[in-house]
């Protein structure tokens, strides 16, 4: 079973529009309402793959009730921590070429008691869990050390931890030794404080974070593929996708695929690439089923092209 923790979940409304026109009325050609938040998306992708999953969430107000109902309808067990604030709602505009423009709400502020109860709830749910995926930015209230405490408690319960966050929360959590971290290349560059113009630079930065405590580093390189740096070696993979409909949730689907396949080695990286590419071919933040996967389009090498230039990192 895979448990996910999303400290700042959301309701995500995605509207399909022909093109953006600032200052004008846009006529949407479709609307989706999905449960949102990175850990929530991981649970949705795990459930779509037919694997049992539980999502631990702080929920409040009518949006929180609807979010739990939508997750239940998708086969995700929800363990809710009731909060005084209201669960946030986000809006996205999806254009035909795959461009996605998001408006994200800051979300509620968690009290000290609510933050502590969320930690306690994760610990109480961690029995017989293979992986805990802790994902997303922290809401207002908890300090950057909150994820580090979560990693400590999960390890004490015998679970492995995949952490997908950035900034001070990521840096603070490294000393707690998360089993896997999943920064994208820009977040990895910010973590080491320097640009990463090539795949070789990404490998060096990932190794640096491993020396600080990360067991493995799974990095998205955008259109250039994904990189896994771990004790088993360094693996680089691509999964070309011509018909991109939406990138919303694709990285979260990728993490789900990685964990479903065991969370180690090139096989897990191949699964991550297949799930991420499949999600990108679907509308909104829809998650892929096994029928959507194209594993034959995944290419993995143990000797990545270190001199391959990357765009904008």
Give me the chain's average pLDDT, please. Answer: 93
Residue 31 — very low, low, confident or very high, per pLDDT cuts 50/70/90?
confident
State the pLDDT at residue 268: 98
| Rounded to 5°, angle at Cα 202 from 200 and 206 | 120
- CB atoms < 10 A from the CB of 39, how many? 26
For residue 113, CA distances in Å to 88, 110, 248 come to 20, 8, 32
Q: What is the pLDDT of residue 20?
A: 82
Spatial distance between the Cα atoms of 244 and 240, rounded to a whole number of angstroms: 10
- Rounded to an integer, the average pLDDT of 147-154 is 95
Instruction: Give yes or no for residue 312 having a pLDDT over 70.
Output: no
Check 34, 252, 296, 311 and give the catalytic one.
252
Please tell me the predicted confidence (pLDDT) of residue 179: 98
At residue 313, the pLDDT reads 53
Sheet holding 88-94, edge to edge: 30-36, 10-16, 88-94, 100-103
Question: For residue 240, what pLDDT is reported?
Answer: 84
Q: How do beta strands 299-301 and 233-238 pair? A: antiparallel
Region 17-29: mean pLDDT is 86
Q: How far is residue 79 CA from its own chain's centroid? A: 19
Q: pLDDT tens digit string along 100-140?
A: 788 999 999 999 999 999 999 999 998 889 999 999 999 99
Tokens of 211: 């020396």
Write out the CATH class of domain 2-301.
alpha beta
Q: Which pair of tokens denotes residue 135? A: 């994902």
- What pLDDT, on a 0 to 100 scale, did the predictor assign at position 49? 97
Alpha-carbon distance of 38 to 133, in angstroms, equals 9
Task: Write out pLDDT tens, residues 176-217.
Answer: 999 999 999 999 999 999 999 999 999 999 999 999 999 999
C-alpha–C-alpha distance, residues 258 and 219, integer Å:
12
Q: Which band of pLDDT confidence, cut at 50, 70 and 90, is reported for residue 285?
A: confident
What are the extents of the domains in the chain? 2-301
Is 104 designated active site? Answer: no
Res 23: pLDDT: 85
Ordered alpha helix ranges (H), the chain? 38-48, 61-73, 112-125, 146-156, 167-174, 185-192, 199-211, 250-260, 265-280
For 264-275, how does the pLDDT look when each residue is reduced to its tens digit (9 = 90+)?
999 999 999 999
Asked if the model's pLDDT at residue 311 lies above 80, the reply is no
Q: Is the pLDDT of residue 38 over 80?
A: yes
């Amino acid at each position: 079973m895979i448990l996910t923790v999303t400290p700042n979940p959301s309701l995500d409304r995605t509207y399909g529009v022909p093109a953006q026109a600032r200052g004008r009325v846009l006529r949407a050609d479709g609307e989706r309402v999905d449960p949102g938040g990175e850990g929530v998306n991981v649970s949705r992708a795990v459930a779509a793959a037919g694997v049992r999953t539980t999502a631990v969430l702080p929920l409040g107000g009518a949006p929180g009730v609807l979010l739990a109902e939508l997750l239940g309808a998708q086969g995700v067990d929800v363990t809710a921590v009731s909060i005084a604030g209201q669960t946030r709602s986000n809006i996205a505009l999806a254009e035909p070429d795959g461009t996605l423009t998001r408006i994200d709400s800051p979300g509620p502020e968690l009290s000290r008691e609510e933050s502590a109860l969320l930690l306690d709830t994760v610990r109480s749910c961690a029995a017989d869990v293979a992986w805990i995926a802790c994902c997303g930015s922290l809401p207002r209230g908890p300090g950057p050390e909150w994820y580090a405490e979560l990693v400590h408690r999960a390890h004490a319960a015998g679970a492995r931890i995949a952490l997908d966050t950035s900034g001070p929360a990521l840096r603070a959590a490294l000393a707690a030794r998360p089993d896997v971290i999943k920064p994208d290349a820009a977040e990895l560059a910010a973590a080491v404080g320097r640009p990463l113009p090539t795949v070789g630079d990404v490998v060096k930065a990932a190794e640096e974070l491993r020396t600080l405590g990360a067991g493995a580093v799974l990095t998205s390189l955008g259109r250039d593929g994904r990189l896994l740096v771990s004790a088993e070696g360094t693996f680089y993979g691509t999964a070309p996708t011509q018909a991109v409909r939406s990138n919303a949730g694709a990285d979260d689907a990728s993490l789900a695929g990685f964990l479903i396949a065991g969370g180690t080695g090139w096989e897990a990286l191949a699964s991550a690439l297949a799930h991420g590419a499949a999600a990108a071919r679907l509308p909104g933040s829809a998650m892929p089923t096994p029928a959507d996967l194209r594993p034959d389009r995944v290419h993995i090498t143990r000797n990545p092209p270190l001199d391959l230039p990357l765009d904008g990192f």
